[in-house]
Structure 1
Amino acid sequence: MAIAKTELEFMKEALPFWNALSQNQKERIEATASAFTVKKGQSLHDGSQDCLGLILVKSGHLRAYILSDTGKEITIYRLFERDACIFSAACMLKNITFDISIEAESESRVLLIPTAVYNELNESTLAVSGFTNQLISSRFSDVMWIMEQVLFTSFDRRLANFLLEQSAVEGSDTLHITQEAIANHLGSAREVVTRMLKYFQSEGMVSLFRGGVTISSRKKLEKLSEK
């Protein structure tokens, strides 16, 4: 769990407020920050009661999602290298109750500043509180965009957008993702995803294989996503 020197250097470069900290504050972070590896599919944060601290992604990528009372999931944003997540320290955010869960979409290396330490910095240093506010604003913008997509965008367009996004994430037109996982990302039922993918396949946009999807016509998907 201890943070290596190279990981500490990464943290210094990735956090825009580092140079605004006092020497004592820097030493406090160096003494308390930790690093750990999260395996694909492993959860590292589960709701507002799980108050880890500020998460910073060094490698891999994570998925933040909300879970309904009926067990339906929807992805609200994804975290990649150098991305930070403040909702994993939601207990320090006054008047905000946001039950977000975070899991690894691939094996990921994560750096962590404990909640108590980050809260001290946030309350005492303008550069840190500015970063926190910017991060909260950005994540709520992500949430509002997702809500807009769910409420006002047809499912075929949302699915086309997701497949193109997943292709960018995997760096390939062959996507190793199950229909169940796609449904969880989009807040839908697997049966709905299956029907729409079969329609995409009949239109020559994709081909399906066990445990994944291959994009057959990026042009057709892009045209659909822009409708």
Structure 2
Amino acid sequence: MELGEYLPFWKKLTEAERRTLAGSVQRRRFEKGQVLHHGSDECTGLILTLDGQLRVYTISEEGRELTLYRLLERDLCIFSAPCMVKSILFDVIVEAEQDTEILHIPVDVYRDLMDNSAAVANFTNELMAARFSDVMWLMDQVLNKKIDSRLAAFLLEESGLDESRKLSITHDQIARHMGTAREVITRMLKAFQADGLVKLTRGGIELLNEKRLTELAADSLR
């Protein structure tokens, strides 16, 4: 495997740094539902997704989950190494949503690269800024946007990820993604069904009118 395909700063490293990095990364595979990182008490290291899909989420004091973002192929998770970046002040959990293969970069190796390579430091800062931007956008959604708009956007996003109009997902799973109660999601989905936007099936949802869902989701689509 050529690390240069996945790490933008690879060509700017010295030969010694490349050897150290290449010798330290580990391929690991996780089954759907496995947790890769459990929160700030754990400094897992950096996670680079090779194949599959990861979910990065947080849990409120009331025990409610909220998905912050997904990690798809070639995405790198910096929040799984909170001990390395002092500005990471909140807990996140990283879970495999599909059977997923990753590259694991140990914290000490990456920290040394950051300390000695301006390219790595700049890349890390840009990655952090992008992730915090994602989180701030989500907070604005939760605090200021209507639940019907957010739900419509979520269904469209899931449809895009699954490449299907038929989603195998429960009301409880949607609620955990969106940081709300299952009853709220069930009530809203029934309203969507009554309006002809979706069809509710046992353990799933079928999108019937993507155009109207897109119009409804206008304030919540990225």
| Alpha-carbon distance in 1 for matches of 2:88, 2:56 | 17
Distance 2:6 2:202 in 1: 39
8 Å contact from structure 2 (residues 54, 72) kept in 1: yes
Secondary structure of the 1:214 match is strand
The Cα of 1:201 is off from its aligned counterpart by 0.5
1:211, CA displacement in angstroms? Answer: 1.4
C-alpha distance in 1 between matches for 2:163 and 2:187:
25
Taking structure 2 as the reference length, the TM-score comes to 0.96
Deviation at 1:95, TM superposition (A): 4.1
What corresponds to 2:214 in structure 1?
222
Query: Greater helix percent: which structure?
Result: 1
Which of structure 1's runs of 4+ aligned residues deviate more than 3 A?
none
Give me the TM-score of the superposition, normalised by structure 1.
0.94
Tell me, yes or no, if the aligned pair for 2:79 and 2:88 is still in contact at 8 Å: no
Whole-Å separation in 1 of the counterparts to 2:175 and 2:88:
27
- Name the counterpart of 1:93: 85
Name the counterpart of 1:176. Answer: 168
How much is the aligned-residue C-alpha RMSD, in angstroms?
Answer: 1.0
Aligned positions of 1:128-147 closer than 5 A? 128-147=120-139
The alignment of Structure 1 onto Structure 2 pairs a total of residues equal to 219
Query: What is the aligned-residue identity percentage?
Result: 49
Cα distance in structure 1, aligned partners of 2:160 and 2:185: 20
Distance across 1 between alignment mates of 2:209 and 2:188: 15
Give the aligned residue type for 2:19.
Answer: E
Structure 1: where are the runs of 5+ without partners?
1-5
Q: Does 1:47 align with 2:39?
A: yes
Which SS does the other structure have where 1:106 is aligned? coil
Structure 1 CA distance, aligned partners of 2:180 and 2:115? 40
Give the letter for the 1:168 counterpart.
G
Distance 1:50 1:178 in 2: 30
User: 1:115-194 alignment to 2 at 5 Å?
Assistant: 115-194=107-186
> Match for 1:127: what amino acid?
A
